[in-house]
Amino acid sequence: MKFAQILTVASGSLHTALALPSTLPRQQTCTSPKLRKEWSQATAGERSSYIQAVLCLATKPSTLGLPSPATVYDDFAWAHATLNNEIHGVPAFLPWHRYFVHVYEDALHDCGYTGNALYWDWAADSGAPASADVWDPTTGFGGNGNQTTPSQFGTVCVLDGPFTVLNPVYWNSDVRPHCLQRSFAEPSGDPPVEMFGFNYTPDIVAQVSSETVYDQFNNQLENGPHAAVHQGVAGGFRGLGDLGPVSSPNDPIFFLHHTNVDRIWWQWQQQDPQTRTFAYGGSIGENGPTADLDDILPMQGLAPDSVVREYMDVNSAHLCYTY
C-alpha cells in the first residue's frame, strides 16, 4: 500500500528527482562545515534574527499555489501533512526530515536569516521541560497555550512571545485557520514531570543510540523520544496543540525539535562513520518492500524531489554542516 503511494509520487516527479543524480561526481567538497548550535548557545542576535525570519515566512504568499491566505509558512505544514504516510513509520523518516530541515533553513535565509539551523536539546531539559530557554517570551518562542479555556478546537492559543500574531491555515490538511496552539502535558509519573520529560531523558537517548541496526535505531528514535516531545508540547488535557497533528510544522519549535532528532542521528553515524554514514534499510511498511538508498524523497514542490542517498552524509557538498 505504502509502496504504491510512493510509486505514484515517484512516477509523477521522476524528472525533478533526476535533477539531482547521485552518480555524477561532485563538483565541490565540504571544506568548512556550518556549525548548528543549540538554541541557548546561539547569540541574542542570531535568535532574534531567526524569529524575525520565521515571522517573515508568514508574510509571503504560498509558493506551492495554496489558496490565500496560505503563506510560505503554511507550505511547510501542508507538505508535511500531505506526505504523512510516506515519511513516518518508515525507514525514510530520518533522511526525509533531514532534507525538510535543510529546505526550511534555506527559506529562513531567503527571509534574511544568516545563521544555521538551530536545535533544542530536549534531553538536557527533560527534568523541567516547561522551563526550557526555548519557551522564553522575550528571547524565545513563547510558552504554553491558554489553559483556562474550554477544551475545543482552537482555544489553547499561545499567550506570549513573538508568535501570538501567527494564524496557521492548516490543521492536518484541512483549511482551519487558528492561532498557534500549545498544550503542555501536565506533570505525571513519580516523581511527577511535566511534558512527559521522563520519556526523553539522556538515558533514553543513550539507550536508543545503542541500537546498532539502522532500522531499529530509526524506529526507536521516532516512536520513543521524538514522539514523546510532540506529545509533551501538544498533548495536555485542555486540547491538542499544533505540534500534535500531521500539520505539526505549524509550531516553529518543530524545526528545533527535528534538528535535534537529526543531531542524534548524526551522533549515531559518527560512532562508526565508515559503516554508518550510509547505513540504511528495513521494510517500507509491514511486509513492504525493502528500503533502498535510491528511494525517492518527495518534497511536494517546496524543493526538487531527491533520493535518500543525498541526505545520508552531512559532509556532502550540498549539506555541509556539523553539530
- Give the binding site for ligand NAG (CB under 6 A): 146, 148-149, 159
Minimum distance of ligand NAG from residue 151's CB (angstroms): 11
Other residues' Cβ atoms within 10 Å of the Cβ of residue 123: 20
Residue 159 CB, nearest distance to ligand NAG (Å)? 5
Residue nearest to ligand NAG (CB): 146
Q: Which is nearer to ligand NAG, 40 or 147 (CB)?
A: 147
Residue 148 Cβ, how far from ligand NAG at the closest point, in Å? 5
- Which cell numbers hold the place of 118? 538551530
Residue 149 or 223 with smaller CB distance to ligand NAG: 149
DSSP 30: -
- Nearest alpha carbon to residue 96 among 265, 308, 301, 266: 308
CA angle 255, 282, 118 (to 5 degrees): 15
Nearer of residues 160 and 211 to ligand NAG, judged by Cβ: 160
**Pick 101 or 158: Cβ nearer ligand NAG:** 158
* The three three-digit cell numbers of residue 190, written as one number: 513519580
Q: Which is nearer to ligand NAG, 155 or 269 (CB)?
A: 155
Q: How near is the Cβ of 146 to ligand NAG at its closest, in Å? A: 4
Cβ-count burial 274-287 (b if 16+ within 10 Å, e if not): eebbebbebebbee
CB of 181 to ligand NAG, least distance (A): 13
Tell me which residue of 149, 276, 137, 133 sits closest to 213, measured CA to CA.
276
**Min CB(186)–ligand NAG separation in Å:** 17
Q: Which is nearer to ligand NAG, 150 or 191 (CB)?
A: 150
Q: 31 has which bridge partners?
A: none
DSSP state letters, 94-135 = HHHHHHHHHHHHHHHHHTT--S---B--TTTTTTSGGG-GGG
